[in-house]
Amino acid sequence: MTALAIQSFTTAASLNLLKPFQDELALLSPQIHGFVTRSLVKMPPKAYRWVGEMDEVAETFSSEVGFSKDLYHGAAEVFKVICDETILKDERPHKRERGQTVDDVAMLMLDTMKTRQKQLAPENDPTASNHTGSTGLEAGVIGLKVSEDAEGSTVEAASK
């Protein structure tokens, strides 16, 4: 759930909708909002170990029941980005400077993902063909549906 929240809050930040997204989540599901808010700010010093844990869960769910490994390998990738590519990798449980708010985690992750997109863009890869496609973290996650009414923007979760 933390990996999904990271993706959702980062995407909302990218769309300049982080505050409305947080407000809507708090209104519609205060318990989930509280859980993900706490988990996002507690996560940075632990992200490195969650990579392996998510891979182990993927293997167990696949071998025991036959579920696809994609969901948990995707979660592992989110945590891998955090502990390998963001400045959050330097945070320690009792010595925190960054990532102490959801906004900070989302903005740091957004900066990292934008850098990744630029690095993965086809024009930066001389071996890439001329097709277009998305880069970064993807594959069937819940996204944001943005609509505007007379009172302003609203944000809703939407299946991809």
pLDDT at 157 over 90: no
Tens digits of per-residue pLDDT, 93-117? Answer: 667 667 678 888 888 889 888 988 8
Minimal CA–CA distance to 68: which of 81, 77, 59? 59
- Rounded to a whole number of angstroms, the distance between the first and last alpha carbons of the chain is 17
Angle between helical axes of 18-28 and 102-120 (0-180°, round to 10): 130
Minimal CA–CA distance to 9: which of 150, 113, 118, 134? 113
Distance of CA 69 to the CA centre of its chain: 18
Predicted structure pTM score: 0.68
pLDDT at 139 over 60: no
pLDDT band at 120 (very low <50, low <70, confident <90, very high): confident
